[in-house]
Structure 1
């Protein structure tokens, strides 16, 4: 039986520059044996993988957790498969950002210099693709465009790759480079959810801003996107079934916004908006943004029933593991103890759902190499479970898969 959440009284937030150590009291979740077995079964099939980069990150983390070289060899093979995908003419397959994340790990990338780095030719290929997508400014290309920006943010410390990030900063300062235009209030319908909606874009922009040396043009862009986000909010009314402050999708002009009860990582907007606003507060030093972030975040703690959250599974993308992850991130950024309670509550819920779903064979019906399937569960276990020794690295992997 899950106990109801107790929400501590409101207090002013303080944003810390780096996550503190965190050790929840809940017991380790199950699935350490079941999830690797599911992924091994997927790799033994002849069907092409949709996300070899994400799987490579997972096996690298298993190597770091257990020290078994077989996991590192698997990570190498999947890294090379993702590299081949990303070099193909139809760029965008899989997760190129996972390549950049893995390329920074000494165990995976052992080359001594940028000149011999296997990602060096890919840098030029992906930058050309990024320029092409930005100039076309098609909404359908938005997710790929953000993935490419994320790739170069992660490559910023790797030799000549830093010059690409500087050029991206210039491109981001171009009107209408991102879809929709950054200086207007949502001229077209746009998702607000993670990873590729408005909140995901805001989080990425704050990371680029810091990696690029805090250029003023990006500060203005972040403020403009925050304004777009804040323009979509509404008052909640639980008695009327209005649980969310932010919509799932910002509407076209003259059309009503699309609200739902979803609290999940991949569809809900309130937790993602709170996270993005906390991050914007940290880089813009705007206390009002922190106040709004806290009000939004604490409001979500009042929602635990399925009818107020839309949560009914352990899945990372749309289930309890993703919610537990978001509360943990909110605690990292704000230090507010209420978010620790939220994290513990949803980790317990995830453990219960996962036990039931593994027994029912649920993940045999899900795409294994996605955040909705075994990969998402595996990465969540490595980031959220007290049994993990690689939680910090796993958090980075979840942000690039």
Structure 2
């Protein structure tokens, strides 16, 4: 049997999202049908809307979904109907990256997540006798129901039974990326200095994770005083307004020797290159900000080689979903990852207002809550 549901269809940057009826396929043997309770709005959703990533439009977006399992395919064993779950990106499970539990770098990431179809080219969603582009990040969770996959559905542990799904939903991408970058990708060491450039959801997750890791000092850099104040509440020991202060000079004042870690969420060439210049020997510069496709960076080779420094691109915080998302939930339960303070919820019907609130900076992490 198919499932008829309501989904927000994106027609492009110049048009509002339109909530319409669509029909989802019954789950295949390795698929899961989830009734969505909440879905975070991420910068990647905005990038897809604006055709900055190669996703076909119109399309059902949304990739930070959380809900309750309604149906499972015959091969699904790790979740069952009635389980609360959170969702993230999909991966193939058999390429060299997946084989070493690095699914964010899946060789088949694009067909598994961005083509609007399943990896085999078949559609998951339909409308008026035609196909609808969906399967965004293996889910398309701007909807009352989503068809997901074995590899991108994670059961919420029983220890978190009291946490609302609207709180858990945004762990599936942006917050996972920032926290994973610190705890996994860069493997930040206790007592070592780190600067985080950009205090949006990803940057603030990195600040919280840096505190968990025991980094010191933890320096937040942004151009909005309200976000810098929040960064200090989340664990930053120092904050710098890059609009009114010389960030390089201030970082050198705070940490005269330099930085062991620099984490950029801005994608701005000038900031990235300045951050590299601040690295100590064996320093790591982690990049998650999406620069323009033609943008090039310049580093001094002697400094890079002679200092044993590393510049690393980071996707999804190098996260293995089935282990890292439960780890983040446990940090939240222990009070070490208070990401609920970044969230403002919006009814699903107000998806356009929620996008505006996120883009304007009014809200750090908008989360849609699906109405009955």
Q: Same fold (TM over 0.5)?
A: no
Sort the TM-score into its range (normalised by shorter chain).
under 0.3
TM-score by length of 2: 0.26
Indicate the structure whose relative CO is greater, using CA pairs within 8 Å and at least 6 residues apart. 1
The structure carrying a bigger helix percent of its residues is 1
TM-score by length of 1: 0.25
The structure carrying a bigger strand percent of its residues is 2
